[in-house]
Amino acid sequence: MTRQITLTRHVAALLSWLNTAHPPTEHEIATRILKIGEEFGEVVAAYIGVTGQNPRKGVSSTRAELTGELCDVVIAAMTALATVAGDAEQADRILHEHLSARHPRLPALVRAGAA
């Protein structure tokens, strides 16, 4: 039986491959952070394509392409975080600590927005 592919497992494999191809020098770390911006640009392009906002191209992307690009942003961000943190497991811990610190504020924000 195949183990479920989780974000952490995927990022660990990706980081292993990247670190072999390009050891994490200061330049490589910066490049991995910049990759988030590149992927975000692809999200913007897909959104424009989904909404048909470019009159020259019209509707040129699908919602599936848009969601795929959004997933690529998440993967790029987690890969950059894992690079800075040291590994995918540490990045996962940092993310969950970050969420745990912010989540308790959410109910108050929801109540305030509903008022």
Q: What is the pLDDT of residue 46?
A: 98
Q: Where are the domains of the chain?
A: 7-114
85-113 average pLDDT score: 94
78-98 per-position pLDDT tens digit: 999 999 999 999 999 999 999
Q: What is the pLDDT of residue 12?
A: 98
CA–CA dist 10, 12 (Å, integer): 5
Q: Is the pLDDT of residue 41 over 80?
A: yes
Note whether 76 and 39 are within 8 A (CB): yes
Q: Supply the mean pLDDT for the chain.
A: 95
46-68 average pLDDT score: 97
- What is the pTM (predicted TM-score) of this model? 0.90
Note whether 54 and 60 are within 8 A (CB): yes
Q: What is the pLDDT of residue 115?
A: 60
Q: What is the pLDDT of residue 1?
A: 63
pLDDT band at 2 (very low <50, low <70, confident <90, very high): confident
Q: Measuring CA to CA, which residue among 70, 72, 69, 93 is closest to residue 81?
A: 93
6-15 average pLDDT score: 97
